[in-house]
């Protein structure tokens, strides 16, 4: 049986393997769909229960908690086994979802988002980690492809669920709608997964303290965004940077590294690849404010605004698909073209998003361009990480990619919240505040992919 034969997919999708595939794919889908639902309904949420200054915190806390959740997953497997750890993650996610659905005010909603993030991060990590435990090696690549494909499903379904409930004036039901899916997922987990992986005698070597420093650095920046004083905001950014520098120093001296050797140095090819991954991911975090800008400035419905904001993620997937399998010469060009396209698209949004007369088709094209620029060079950045990492640290290098991406998104959301609030998002607020905030956010964030252009040129010379 060849790897490309239909029977290979049949072996994964039928019988007990099919039920296990559905369970693991469901773990990623619950996390991913929830991200798009929350982004879509958030303008309706703040209109109902207030909390506009905390707008970006919904993404920041969710993603920061996801980092900690994904870090705790290996500990859970060792202590409780695969099935119990999955169920604990699912219960944490469902508990957070219930709190979000009942939230009378923004602080309660944020508490629920933390619960969702912890559980969702664990589900995300567990779904990928479970593949080699429950499937034969011949099915691993297809199982990974199936699980990763759930992000595409989320791009289509998340805005639909969130948008329909928001338009009907019942945004809370967008959270309640996820719970039946969680119950079905729990039934699959109980019946299809066993206690494999449990070994309390094994020593866990996860860098939890250093992961915690990452999360705290994001929270410091987010906390500073709530103050109008530029001095406090500058202190928050400086404090977050100092924590990251402390983390880098700790990691360079640790017996088990969080990032492989060379990752913290901008002069090392590996450090430059990680920097590009972080900068391009930060550029996409402007997606957080897109539904609000589209509804307030352009009169879009929640459903349309949700789908338009999802174009960034759709473009990411489209660019990744289009650039996969290219030769070395083409790869070098894509590593430069990707950041240029992303930066140019953000520059276009700086001009046209604040303009209520801007054509919707133009805005859609620019939103798609931001994500497509990332996708064009994304698979080659990942393979570049593997090639640049020391041979004995390639596993650490690959595992750190997801953590770095999540951190960049959380940090980007924090900075976006700070920039938006400073630009007038809450004061004067309303239409004028949204317009000023759009100028501020896109005017600042265009520099993230712009800085990645030079790194792309260096990567192109190294790939030649």
Give, in order, the Cα–Cα distances in Å from 144 to each of 6, 14, 114, 301: 17, 16, 27, 35
Query: By CB neighbour count within 10 A (0-12 exposed, 13-18 middle, 19+ buried), where does 308 fall?
Result: buried
Q: Using CA atoms in the order 85, 86, 88, 94, what is the torsion angle rounded to 10 degrees?
A: 170
Q: How does pLDDT run along the chain (464 residues), one tens digit per residue?
A: 444 444 466 778 787 888 888 888 899 899 999 999 999 999 999 999 999 999 999 999 999 999 888 888 877 887 888 888 999 999 999 999 999 999 999 999 999 999 999 999 999 888 887 887 788 877 776 787 788 778 888 888 999 999 999 999 999 999 999 999 999 999 998 888 766 655 555 555 567 788 888 899 999 999 998 888 889 999 999 999 999 999 888 888 887 777 888 888 888 888 999 999 999 999 999 999 999 999 999 999 999 999 999 999 899 988 988 887 777 778 889 999 999 999 999 999 999 999 999 999 999 999 999 999 999 998 888 888 888 888 877 767 776 787 888 899 999 999 999 999 999 999 888 999 999 999 999 999 999 999 999 999 988 887 66
The pLDDT score that the predictor gives to residue 1 is: 41
Gap between the Cα atoms of 276 and 282, Å rounded: 10
Longest dimension (CA), the chain: 66
> Phi and psi for 354 in degrees, rounded to 5?
-70, -10
Residue 428, helix vs strand vs coil: coil
Gap between the Cα atoms of 427 and 433, Å rounded: 6
Instruction: Give residue 325's region: left, alpha or beta (phi > 0; psi -120 to 50).
Output: left
> Phi and psi for 62 in degrees, rounded to 5?
-60, -45
Gap between the Cα atoms of 98 and 283, Å rounded: 31
The pLDDT score that the predictor gives to residue 323 is: 84
The whole-model pTM stands at: 0.89
């Amino acid at each position: 049986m060849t790897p490309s034969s239909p029977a290979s997919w049949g072996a994964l999708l039928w019988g007990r393997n099919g039920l296990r595939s559905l369970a693991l794919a469901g773990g990623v889908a619950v996390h991913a769909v929830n991200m798009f639902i929350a982004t879509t309904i958030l303008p309706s949420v703040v209109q109902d229960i207030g909390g506009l200054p905390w707008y970006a915190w919904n993404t920041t806390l969710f993603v920061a908690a996801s980092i900690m959740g994904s870090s705790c997953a290996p500990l859970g497997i060792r202590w409780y086994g695969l099935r119990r750890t999955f169920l604990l993650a699912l219960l944490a996610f469902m508990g957070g979802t219930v709190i979000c659905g009942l939230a009378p005010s923004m602080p309660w909603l944020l508490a629920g988002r933390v619960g969702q993030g912890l559980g969702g991060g664990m589900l995300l990590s567990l779904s990928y980690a479970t593949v080699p435990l429950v499937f034969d090696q011949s099915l691993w690549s297809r199982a990974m492809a199936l699980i990763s494909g759930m992000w595409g499903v989320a791009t289509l379904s998340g805005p639909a669920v969130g948008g329909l409930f928001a338009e009907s004036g019942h945004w809370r039901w967008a959270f309640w709608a996820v719970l039946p899916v969680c119950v079905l997922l729990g039934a699959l987990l109980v019946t299809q997964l066993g206690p494999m992986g449990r070994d309390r005698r094994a020593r866990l070597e996860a860098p939890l303290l250093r992961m915690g420093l990452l999360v705290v650095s994001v929270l410091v920046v987010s906390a500073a965004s709530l103050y109008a004083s530029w001095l406090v905001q500058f202190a928050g950014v400086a404090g977050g940077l100092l924590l990251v520098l402390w983390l880098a120093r700790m990691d360079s001296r640790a017996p088990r590294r969080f990032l492989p050797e060379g990752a913290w140095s901008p002069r090392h090819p590996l450090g430059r690849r990680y920097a590009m991954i972080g900068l391009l991911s930060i550029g996409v975090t402007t997606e957080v404010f897109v539904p609000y800008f589209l509804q307030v400035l352009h009169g879009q419905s929640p459903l349309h605004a949700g789908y338009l904001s999802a174009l960034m993620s759709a473009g990411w997937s489209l660019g990744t698909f289009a650039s996969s399998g290219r030769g070395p010469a083409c790869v070098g060009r894509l590593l430069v073209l990707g950041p240029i396209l992303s930066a140019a698209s953000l520059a276009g949004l700086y001009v046209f998003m604040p303009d209520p007369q801007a054509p919707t088709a133009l805005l859609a094209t620019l939103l798609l361009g931001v994500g497509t620029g990332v996708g064009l060079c994304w698979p080659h950045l990942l393979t570049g990480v593997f090639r640049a990492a020391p041979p004995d640290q390639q596993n650490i290098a690959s595992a750190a990619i997801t953590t770095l991406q999540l951190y960049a998104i959380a940090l980007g959301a924090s900075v976006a919240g700070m920039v938006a609030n400073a630009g007038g998002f809450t004061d004067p607020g309303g239409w004028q505040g949204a317009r000023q905030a759009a100028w501020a956010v896109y005017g600042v964030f265009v520099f993230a992919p712009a800085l990645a252009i030079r790194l792309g040129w260096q990567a192109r010379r190294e790939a030649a």
